[in-house]
A and B are shown apart, each in its own frame.
Chain A
Amino acid sequence: MELDIVSLSRLQFAMTALYHFLFVPLTIGLSILLATMETVYVMTGREVWKRMVKFWGTLFGINFVLGVATGLTMEFQFGMNWSYFSQYVGDVFGAPLAIEGLMAFFLEATFVGLFFFGWDKLSKRQHLAATWAVAMGTNLSALWILIANGWMQHPVGSEFNPETMRMEVTSFYEVLFNPVAQAKFVHTVSAGYVTASLFVIGIAAWYLLKGRHIEIARRSIAVASAFGFASALSVVVLGDESGYEANLNQKMKLATIEAMWETEPAPASFNLIAIPDMEARDNSFAIEVPYVMGLIATRSLTEEIPGIKELVEQSKGRIRQGVIAWEALQKIREADDAGETVDEAVRNDFVINQHNLGYAYLLMPFATDLTKPTNEEIDAAAWSAVPNIWPMFYAFRIMVACGFFFILLTGVFFFLASSGRVEGLRHNGRWLLHIAVLSIPLPWIACEMGWFVAEYGRQPWIIEGMLPTHAGVSNLSVTEVLLTLAGFVILYSTLLVIEVALMLKYIRKGPDDGTEPQTTSARTAGLSSIAAE
């Protein structure tokens, strides 16, 4: 990769976002699990549930602070590194970020103090309310961030204003109820729930293997596997919804995920494995499953999905229209400066073509004069709008494979927990407990792959179809960005190492087992009685 400002800024954003997202999914999911466990405690009055909340709460806290710390960077680096993006879309994009702070993060951050320090100062119900407030705040945070991100993927409810040279809101309602944002929200929080569930199941399985904290481990698995199983199903269903939305709004992303160069007759087949060749613009090898892709993306047997080459041809047309809009915009501004009124025809050119203005910006790295691009320049710009296929293709498949594995794993544990057989695994199913322990890192891999597919797949756009990433960057020097990139890598990595070490320390230490009489033997009942006992 070249050391230019755009690549370095992208690298820094990707790095800080992926680090941030190491901590966020666990916070999202664990907050709900804590609130659920505490609800059981308040309803049954059994102390063991309180000790569970305190134990998992300690791990939650160690993770939570790093989510907060790395989140600080996210709120400010749009302005720092993506200055023109911020100016160009702040009118639309800033609002969800601000409302996130106002509605969600305040709630979460104010009550998290009570969660840790309020045990002796609040009644049981009050403390439960504080815990739920943290969980709600965390999840609402995700909602607003994904409304912002959803708009970057599918910029609805807004239009370009030539007077202020930026995108402005035309309908806040459309921005809020953007179908892409809604699907992304449920998909992402569900992924967080699965992450937390596998974390809890894995650690509890480790205790079972060691023969420690049996009471707490068994109950933890019961709650986490039920929650995890439902969430794992939801992740896949909403992932499918995201795929469907991508076909409606981000056809290029879908085509690169599929390494689908040519438009196939409907219903398209699904490339299970492929070796894409960017030079030859073809796959040198592919294993195809007939019909599946057409069904996922269009939910029909007759609708065609355009391939990469067809989409590039469409981009060329849009670039030409964008150039007309850009030329008209210059004339409008010149006339404004001179205090004249511009020709109706010029204004019409602008109005008709303005939705393709961003496509003209695609020419910026290739053409010196945006108003007179050559065919070669248009060709180069249109092909620049195809993300690199290899990483897209495989990141997506790793994520999906993980997703199906999670359904299986949580499903098995849910079944065993419902029939009261989890504890028995200590004797005749240790391999399953080992698998649960070894699976702990998998949700993180899946989450990071998911972010990668969503964000890298949107390239070269920072706002799909409206503003190319290279046009959104700040006027900084390479040295400045290198300095901050190195600074973030060193700082974040140090903190991550400390975090993992502390996590391991507290996991090894384990929960407080209390002094209650143990009731480990002769358990036959299902989930409901686990809660009731």
Chain B
Amino acid sequence: MILHELIDYSTLKLIWWLLLGVLLIGFAATDGFDMGVGTLLPFVGETDTERRVAINSIGATWEGNQVWFILGGGAIFAAWPPLYAISFSGFYLAMFIVLAAMILRPVAFKYRSKRPDPSWRNGWDWALFVGSFVPALVFGVAVGNVLEGVPFTLDRDLRMTYQGSFFGLFTPFSLLCGLLSVAMLVMHGGAWLGLKTGGIVAVRGRRYGTIAAIAALVLFALGGYLVFSGYVQGYRITSEIDPNMPANPLFKKAVVEGQGWMANYSTYPWMIIAPALGFLGTFGALIGLQTRLEMLTFACSKIAVFGIISTVGVSMFPFLLPSSVQPDASLTVWDAASSHRTLFNMLVATAIFLPLVLAYTAWVYRVLWGKVDETTIDRDNDTAY
């Protein structure tokens, strides 16, 4: 069958690079506010009822949001197998910590309200906090490492050896990225609490969201400066690249280059839109959190998430995962994808199911529309989380 040749291999690689962005942004824009709310839980809720207001603002929908994370894993596996293989085994212990933290989340949501005693509920509140804060931090740290380059090598058979260590993951820049990630998601969670809850929880949500938005602005600017100044080095492909090449990372040459991550902005000036949206969105959310324009604030916060994550993507393009010790082995859009046929099949599946997913998710949000506050918690005492 030659159906897959309807679309060029190189075009499919580009489409899947965009879809990778859609997945990561989809995850951060939906499950991101769940994590923000979880991180804020100890701060916005002092009494049990206040905490339940925060928890139930996401209680019925966080589960669907989390699928973006799982789908992210599956789609990277399917469309970018070397990326899946190298990043998850390279960041082995960090991945374990993320999983262990995220495993606590579903259980905490469900089990917290099953018993009334305060120590039981307190324990699960901690689980929710850890299950939200830790992944938010580690994802940011991982992105920081990807920008700086990851110490892996590939042999002839494409067998990977990781030369770094767990503690080596924490560099000043990667920690900055980790904090930016936390700040961004807390801002997003704050905007959500402002939109979806009422009473004191909403007030506190806006207050902490504001602090987080300021932090995000500062950290994003600082991160940008470190990349611009060449403190964080970039990478550049030095050999001739055929975008239709077979997916073997060793078929090209690449080098480390001082301001490599800035090069795209002179080649493709329109890419400046990404960081611009990052700043504008965050700024908009910051202003909005002081007003009662809740929908608009939440939308701005989403735009901020979109802009900040896209900035990483377009700065690095076509790199996906640079190798700091064997730059030639770096994974790029052109040499780390699945086969022509698989990319095509997966695109067909995505074109059918993603619109469906978005449609029924929107419907579910509409059904569950309405603010959660202490009155609704009292009313639904038996069924609410």
Contacts and interface: CB of A to CB of B under 8 A. Distances in A.
B81 A106 contact: no
Given A69-B103, A164-B248, A333-B156, A84 B85 contact: yes
Given A92-B342, A164-B248, A475-B159, A72 B102 contact: yes
B70 interface: yes
Contacts of A164: 158, 246-248, 339
Given A80-B88, A98-B71, A61 B1 contact: no
B81 A98 contact: no
A84 B78 contact: no
Interface string A488-513: 10010001001000100110000000
Interface string B96-111: 1001101111110111
Contacts of B64: 106, 109-110, 113
Contacts of B109: 65
User: Which range contains the number of B residues in contact with the other chain?
Assistant: 35 or more
A110 B160 contact: no
20 contacts: A62-B111, A65-B107, A75-B74, A76-B73, A76-B95, A78-B84, A79-B87, A93-B77, A94-B76, A94-B84, A97-B73, A99-B346, A105-B67, A110-B63, A113-B60, A165-B248, A166-B81, A168-B339, A474-B92, A488-B100
B158 A165 contact: yes
B2 interface: no
The binding surface of chain A is classed by DSSP as helix
Interface string A59-71: 0011011101111
Interface in A177-191: none
Interface string B44-82: 000000000000000111011011011101111111011
A90 B368 contact: no
Contacts of B6: none
B350 interface: yes
Contacts of A116: 60, 383
Contacts of A65: 106-107, 109-111
Contact of B92 (A86, A100, A484): A484
B335 to A, nearest CB: 9
A495 B380 CA distance: 27
Interface string A101-116: 1110111011111101
B70 A71 contact: yes
Contacts of B107: 65-66, 69, 495, 498
Interface stretch (A117-125, A278-286, A433-441): A117-125
Interface in B359-385: 360-361, 364, 367-368, 383
B137 to A, nearest CB: 18
Nearest to A480: B92
B341 interface: yes
Given A101-B70, A168-B341, A475-B161, A73 B103 contact: yes
B74 A97 contact: yes
A388 interface: no
A176 to B, nearest CB: 10
Contacts of A112: 63
A119 B367 CA distance: 11
A80 B346 contact: no
A502 B110 CA distance: 11
A95 interface: yes
Contact of B74 (A91, A100, A118): A100
Contacts of B273: none
Nearest to B161: A475
B349 A103 contact: yes
Given A65-B109, A95-B346, A476-B92, A90 B78 contact: yes
B86 interface: yes
B358 to A, nearest CB: 10
Contact of B78 (A69, A95, A111, A484): A95
A117 B60 contact: yes
Contacts of A161: 246, 339
A236 interface: no
Contacts of B353: 99, 102-103, 106
A291 interface: no
A425 interface: no
Given A69-B103, A475-B159, A163 B248 contact: yes
A169 interface: yes
Contact of B111 (A72, A90, A121, A502): A502
Nearest to A111: B364
Contact of B77 (A90, A117, A333): A90
Given A110-B361, A117-B60, A491 B162 contact: no
A498 B105 CA distance: 14
B93 interface: yes
B250 to A, nearest CB: 9
Interface residues of A, number: 76
Q: Which 8 A-B pairs have CB atoms at the shortest separation, nearest pair first?
A: A90-B81, A79-B88, A94-B78, A94-B77, A101-B71, A110-B64, A113-B60, A98-B74
A72 B67 CA distance: 10
B53 to A, nearest CB: 15
A165 B157 contact: yes
Given A68-B63, A502-B111, A114 B77 contact: no
B114 interface: yes
Residue among A65, A69, A81, A98 with the highest chain B CB neighbour number at 10 A? A98
B262 to A, nearest CB: 31
B282 interface: no
A263 interface: no
Contacts of B114: 62, 502, 505-506
A161 B367 CA distance: 50
A313 B82 CA distance: 36
A77 B169 CA distance: 20
A147 B316 CA distance: 35
Contacts of B81: 86-87, 89-91, 94, 166
Contacts of A476: 89, 92
Given A83-B86, A114-B60, A121-B368, A163 B246 contact: yes
A112 B364 CA distance: 10
A113 to B, nearest CB: 4
Contacts of B383: 116-117, 119
Residue among B73, B77, B93 with the highest chain A CB neighbour number at 10 A? B77
B341 A172 contact: yes
B357 interface: yes
Contacts of A97: 73-74, 77-78
